[in-house]
Each structure stands twice: as structure tokens, then as C-alpha cells.
Structure 1
Amino acid sequence: MITYDEAKSIVVAAGSAYALKTEVIATADIAGHVCAEDIDAPISVQPFDNSAMDGFVVRYEDVVQTGEDVPITLKRVMVIAAGDAVPDVGIKFGECAQIMTGAPVPAGADSVVPVEYVSMDGDEITFTQVVSQGSHVRKAGEDFQKGEAVLKRGDALGAQHIMALATLGVSEVEVFIKLRIASITTGKELVDDLSMALQSGQIYNSNEPYIKEALKAFGAEVMSCGTVADDLDVFQGKLKCIMNNDVDIVISTGAVSAGAFDFVKEALENIGAEILFHKVLARPGKPILCARLPNGTLYFGLPGNPAASSVGLRFFVAAAMRAMRSQEVEKPQYAKLMTPFSKKKGWRMFLKAKTESGDDGLLSVDLFAGQASFMVSPFLQMDCWAVAKEDDSALKVGDIIEIYPLYANF
């Protein structure tokens, strides 16, 4: 049995070594994908000095002495609208130009006076209030400088990135393909049809629908492969069938412990898989298994108890997915513990918990009573996993501990 940190290092290394395919898609379609290339700004933004409001663009030195008692009159020599080319001629001493929001600032001018600060008599424009030098002018390159880093490989992409890239004229982006994950549940006691009445010895299959939706939220495409009863040969046949499909990860739940019907490890060995680790000093989730199938696909055998399965998905499968997409290792958040907790040293524990922001603005976290791996009622209210590390034995109220959102951040 290995430590959580050792197991996670193995997972990250295996994920990083996996050659996930990429594709080029339109910038308008990148939300929900992960960037597979470094992108630098192809142009400066603003591309040219332009006005931030409607008014008159002037040379600051011509209006610096302006006041209600000292009005200054300049001659309007041009009108510049948004979309006009940068004027070929500049503004000289004693001149100004009427300018609209977004219009290019002509050479020689450096400040814009709002229209409400002037009076007009034909082309004679009288200024009665002074502005500071550079007022209401958006400078070239003020937002983006040509050549500066915009996105890097591994960045998760959303609608906000579409706005920035469209502003820069980036029409398409290389992204990682959506990870394709096959999911199998095991156990003859499981009933997949939630509308059916349970017979003696049966339970409903909660792992399969939970895993499917959690993986979709983390940017994966999920292929549900159904439930296999406790049958080694049928399970091996299912794995061989899955390997003929183009999937990146295979997940199973159940049959990874040490019972008479826990056949997953044997099945993997029978088809020539490489066992990367089996059993971790973590609760819930101790029996978790990680392997590499003969075709290079990563395999995670998660325990059957729902909380243990959820922990395996959240902290091992998600770590592999991030590594496969060149994303950085997830960092924890921190919160003040409001519930004391004791445990045996040497184990890492992931605890069902709920956060709350206090009046002081600090984040606090409460632990639920139902920490057993079979208990799912806390999932109705929990929003995070609180972490009790290996060296911890007695966590006290007020201790600052690590927490992770219930679902992996995309």
C-alpha cells in the first residue's frame, strides 16, 4: 500500500505521458475546451490611439489655461467618426477636431474634451473647462501589446477567452479533444433502472449516473458500458471490447477489494495490463487501483461504495485528466475548521463538508456526521471535500485546513 502523494505522482506521470489528440476549432466554439497551444497577441489593442468618448480632440498645450473666466476658442478642422482611417493630417496650433467614441486620434492631438465642456459657433469651438493631459484617449497597445502572452497550453477556455481572442483577431485555436471515458459498474446487486422496485438483496446503481455527470462537468465525453454482474469472463470480454474503441480512460466501480468476487485486478492481469498501483493509504477509497491497458489507455478501478468512488473520481481520475490536458496540478483552497475531528495517523482522509463565509469574510468549513463511505445523504448539502492529512490525529476548531470543491474545476 502506498501513500496518497505517491499514488497521485504516479497518476500525474502517467497522464502527462499520454499523447492526447488535438484539433483546431473556431474561436467561437472554444468554451469548455482546454487550449493545446501557446498564443501570443498578433496585434496591439488598441491598434491605434482612439477616443473614449464623443467630444473634441485637442493639443493639451492649447487648452491648459482654460477656465470659465478664461475661455479658449479653437478652430474645428475635421470631424472623425469611428471606422474612419487615421487622418493623414494632424492637429496644429489653434486647431481641434470633433471626434466620436472609438475614432482614431490624429497626430499632434493628445487629449479629448467632452462635448458638454464646449460651446459651438460653426467651426469656432470654445472650451470652458480644462481637462488633464491624455484625458479620454485610449492609447495604442494599452490593452494588449503585440507579441505578449495571451494563453498558454493547458488553459481551460470559457466565453471570456472568446471575447479576448476575437478582439485580437484570432479566428481559430488548437485545443485538446474532449477526453473519451468509458464507465463500467460491477455487482450483481445493482439495479440500473431506477423505476424498478428493488428485490431482496438489491440496491440502486448510484455510481453510474453520478460518474457520468461529474465527468461531463469536467469536460469529458462519457461512454456508459453498463453493469457487469460478478463474472470474471464477462468483465474481461467487456474490457477487450472497450479497447477496440477510441477511449482515453476506462473507469470501473466495485470489485477491487479483497473479497471472493473482487475480480478486477485478476481480469486486468489476464489481458496484459500493467498495474501501476493497488490500494492507497486514503479513506474513503483505500482499494483504488490504477493500471495501463495494453493499448496505452489508463484504467481506474474505483471502490463500489459511493463516497469512495466519488473520492477516487475527484482526486485520482481528475488528476489524470488534468495531466493529460497539460493543465497544472490543482491547488487546494483553505478554510477555518468549525468541527473537531480525530483520526488515526498515517492515513489521508477526505471528509464530506460544507463551506460558509463568515462576517469577517473568511471561509469556514463544517464536517458532516455521515463520513462512512456508504453514506450519500451528506451529498445533498456538501459543497467540498475537507482534507485531514497523514500527520493529523486531532483537528481542532479554528485549525486552517485544505479543502477542495466537490467537483473538479474544469
Structure 2
Amino acid sequence: MLTYAEALATLLKEAHPLETERVGLSSSLGRILAAYVSSPLSLPSFDNAAMDGFAIRAGAGDIPSGTAFTIAGMQAAGDGTTAYPGADACEIATGARVPDGFDTVVPVERCERMGDIVRLTQAEPRGQNIRRAGGDIATGAPALTAGRRIDAAAIMLLAALGIGDVPVARRPRVVIINTGSELHDSGPLPEGGIHDSNGPFLEAMLASWGVDLLARHRVPDTGDAFAHAVREAMHAGVDLIITTGAVSAGRFDFVPSALAALGARECFHKVAIRPGKPILAARFDGGPLVLGLPGNPIAVAVGHRFFLTPVLRAMAGLAPEKPLRVRLAEGHDVRPGLQHFALGRVEADAEGRQVARVQRNQAAYRIVPFTQANTWLTADGSFGEVVDAWPLDPAAAT
């Protein structure tokens, strides 16, 4: 049986970066930049006033209190005037271009105006209250790096630079197939029935990754509905098929044999992990990658977080994720010989230091501890004094 590290390495060999496309800024939120973006202009693009007041041609040294200047005009934000030849002062608004040769802006509240004359009420340092051209970013400087998830801050910068579209990694096309004759939508249940939670969970997590989810199927454990859903996904040209359930060793665990009959090449089946040991990966030559997750909800969550997430990162051209190393507040016994994934909480102790605690009463079928956790904790063989902590929502942390 493969270790987690071996299985992940095998899986990532099958996950290739997707091609690049360009999208408009209004459609770029959440997308992954596929290439470095350099600044096409400087920000600010010109020297401008940091506040309302008077722009002064101060010359050398500070300006003494009581110095008076003749006001040549008014410089408002958006005005195209670049110079007042022969003048030593002009009224100026916040954000307005500082005219050529003017080197200081004095706030209006530290001035006395009498008609066209302005007098300083205190000594003023030369060069103050001017936002210099390029003070934020210079022309040609790196604006955003490849692999950056475009968030609101990135959109603010791109818009300020006048960039209307950006190169991003294509969204992976995905189909989810949940197996189980016992699965039903919300509402009254028949005898022996349960509500499908895996499908909505995966759909929600994939939405935060911004994937192109083409379909989510729920199929019974008998008949050819599974094969039909797989063929339909392949015909649609998907990159990834995610299945849940029917990957273990029972009578109704048909997914491995069904995929083989459809022509899929098995990459691995069963990994030395807990929960999620029966996980399966397969590849259709020239077609999609298949990740078969067990049916228990927390095994699905582990499969998403520690197998599917690395695949999506690889498809987006992102580097491997690195965990946070955190001190464990108290010991936690686990079965030796397995890679363990546990829900936990990272909190501040009495001294304000970050410590991790493992959630109590965990099991592959128990969902409530998942809702109370704020991190995943991982350990190979045993939970020692220091553990790896991973965000619950990897897309939000990218």
C-alpha cells in the first residue's frame, strides 16, 4: 500500500498545468494569474497634492512663518495645467497635479488668505504634502506575480494601472458523481435513506476554487448510471471526474471495476492514511483524471483537502502548499503506520502563543466536529510536540 507522500507524488504526475486565457477585469475575481504583470505606468502618474491648500515654489530650505505669496490661480483635481510661469503660489485641491517647479503644499488650515495673497501662519518644511510620481509603483516594476489569486486588492491595483484584462489559468472542467442508492435530496427520507451531503460539500468547495463544474450526478449502486455519467463527462471534455463512495472492498463497491471496464488506467487504490484509506486515482488516456473518494463525509473532506487541492493547484500552475508548524497543546494517540488527518483548532494560549488542539470525538462519519474546527492537523505515525496545520479552506488561503 502506498504512503500518502507516494500516492500524492503519483497523482501529481497526472495533473498538468492548464492552458492560459485572457479575461476582463470584471470577470477575474478569484482567478489565478498565469503570468507576471508589470506596471505599464507609474502610480501616482504625476506629483499631486496630498491635501487641500496652497502649492508653493519654496526654493531652498524651509519657509519661515509669515512668508506671503501671490496666488496665481486654482489647481483642481483633473486640471491639465502643468505650469504657472513666474508664479510662486496657487490654490490646490487634494489629488490635483502639482504645477512644474512647485515643491511644497501647505495645508489650508495653516494659511491666512487675503484676496490674492496667502500668508503662512507657521514655519513650514520644504517638500511636504506631495505624493511623488512613482511613489507607489514605477513604470516597468512588478505589479503582481504569476500564481497570485486575484482578489479585491489586486483588482484595485490593476484598475488603477489601466489594465483591462489579465492572463489567467483556464478553469478546470469538473464533474462530480456521487454513488449510493441510499442518497437523497433534502426532504422526507424513505426507510434506510440518508441525505446526500458529499455532493453539496464538494460543489461548495469547488466553487471557492472557481472551477467550471459541468454537472453533479447522484447514481445508484446498480445499473449503468455510473458508466453513463462517466461517458457523458468524457464526451464533454472534462479535466477531472470526482466520485464518492463505492471504492472499498464490499459487494457494492463497484467503482474500481467500472472504471477499468471503461478503459481507465488505475494509478493507485488504497493509501496508508486515516480517514480515507480506500481512495482511488485513475486516468483515461487522452481523457480526464479520476479521483475516487470514499463515501464517509470526513473521508471526502480529507480527499478534497489533501488530494484534490494539490491537483487543482498543479492545474493552476501553483507551487505546492506549505503548512504552518504549530505546537500541540496536548498529546493525541493515533494508530501507528498511517498518515493521520485530524480536525483541530489553532488558538492562543494564556501567553498569547499559537497552539493547536485536536477536536474530540472525531470519526469519518461525524460532521459536527468539522463545523467546530478551524484547521486540519497532520501527523505521520504520531502527533508529536509540533504538528503541521493546514487551513480548512485552501482556496481562501491561496
Runs of 4+ in 1 over 6 A off after TM superposition: none
More displaced, 232-241 or 139-148? Answer: 232-241
Distance in 1, matches of 2:25 and 2:134, equals 22
Structure 2 partner of 1:4: 4
- Cα distance per residue 1:70-115 (max 9 Å; x no partner): x2112222321111125244566xx222211111112222211111
**Contact 1:181–1:249 under 8 Å retained in 2:** yes
Change (3 A) 1:79 1:9: same
Deviation at 1:150, TM superposition (A): 1.4
Map of 2:96 onto structure 1: 103
Any conservation in 2 of the 1:182–1:249 contact (CA below 8 Å)? yes
Could you tell me whether the CA contact under 8 Å between 1:283 and 1:350 is conserved in 2?
yes
Task: Specify the alignment match of 1:49 in structure 2.
Answer: 47
Cα deviation 1:123-172 (Å, max 9, x = unaligned): 22211222333211000000111111112332111222211111001111
Q: Deviations over 1:179-224 (max 9, x none)?
A: 3211111223x22123122414x43322112111121122223344
Distance 1:377 1:64, change over 3 A: closer
Structure 2 CA distance for aligned equivalents of residues 88 and 132 of structure 1: 22
Aligned match of 1:291: 282
Of stretches 122-131 and 219-228 in structure 1, the one that deviates more from structure 2 is 219-228
Does residue 78 in structure 1 map to residue 73 in structure 2? Answer: yes
- Aligned pairs for 1:132-211 within 5 A: 132-188=125-181, 190-200=182-192, 202-211=193-202
Q: Is the CA contact (8 Å cut-off) linking 1:338 and 1:366 kept in structure 2?
A: yes
User: 5 Å matches for 1:298-377?
Assistant: 298-377=289-368
Change (3 A) 1:237 1:121: closer
CA distance in 2, matches of 1:324, 1:257: 28
Structure 1 letter corresponding to 2:322? K
Identity fraction in percent:
36
Give the drift of 1:324.
0.5
2: distance between equivalents of 1:113 and 1:234?
A: 76
Contact 1:58 1:91 in 2 (8 A): no
CA distance in 2 between counterparts of 1:38 and 1:298 reads: 28
SS at match of 1:14: coil
Does structure 2 conserve the Cα–Cα contact (< 8 Å) formed by 1:66 and 1:128? no
Residue 136 to residue 81, structure 1, CA distance change in 2 (3 Å): same
Per the TM alignment, residue 47 of structure 1 is displaced from its structure 2 partner at its CA by 0.6
Distance 2:302 2:250 in 1: 21
3-state SS of paired residue (1:241): helix
Provide the rounded CA distance (Å) in 1 between the counterparts of 2:85 and 2:249: 83
Residue number in structure 2 paired with 1:66? 64
For the residue of structure 2 that corresponds to 1:404, the secondary structure is strand
Q: Which moved more, 1:303-312 or 1:240-249?
A: 240-249
**In the alignment, what sits opposite 1:401?**
387
Q: Aligned partners of 2:12 and 2:24: how far apart in 1? A: 30
Q: Which residue of 2 aligns with 1:34?
A: 32
Contact 2:227 2:258 in 1 (8 A): yes
- How many residues are matched? 396
For the residue of structure 2 that corresponds to 1:78, the secondary structure is: strand
Q: Which amino acid aligns with 2:126?
A: Q
Partners of 2:61 and 2:126 within 8 A in 1: no
Distance 2:85 2:74 in 1: 12
Gaps of 5+ in 1: none
- Which TM-score applies when normalising by structure 1? 0.89
Whole-angstrom distance in 1 between the partners of 2:113 and 2:349: 57
One-letter amino acid matched to 2:142: A
CA offsets 1:26-46 (integer angstroms, 9 cap, x no match)? 212311222223211100011
The CA deviation string for residues 253-308 of structure 1, in whole angstroms up to 9 with x for no partner, is 11212223322222222222222222222111111111222333111000111111
Partner of 2:356, secondary structure, is: strand
Contact 2:323 2:389 in 1 (8 A): yes
Contact 1:243 1:295 (8 Å CA) reproduced = no
Bigger mean CA offset, 6-15 vs 109-118: 6-15
Is residue 279 of structure 1 aligned with residue 277 of structure 2?
no
Structure 2 CA distance for aligned equivalents of residues 10 and 86 of structure 1? 64
- Whichever residue aligns with residue 244 of structure 1, its letter is H
- Residues of 2 paired with 1:9 and 1:354: CA distance? 28
Q: State the TM-score, normalized to the length of structure 2.
A: 0.92
Structure 1 equivalent of residue 243 of structure 2? 252
User: Would you say the 8 A contact 1:76–1:98 is kept in 2?
Assistant: yes
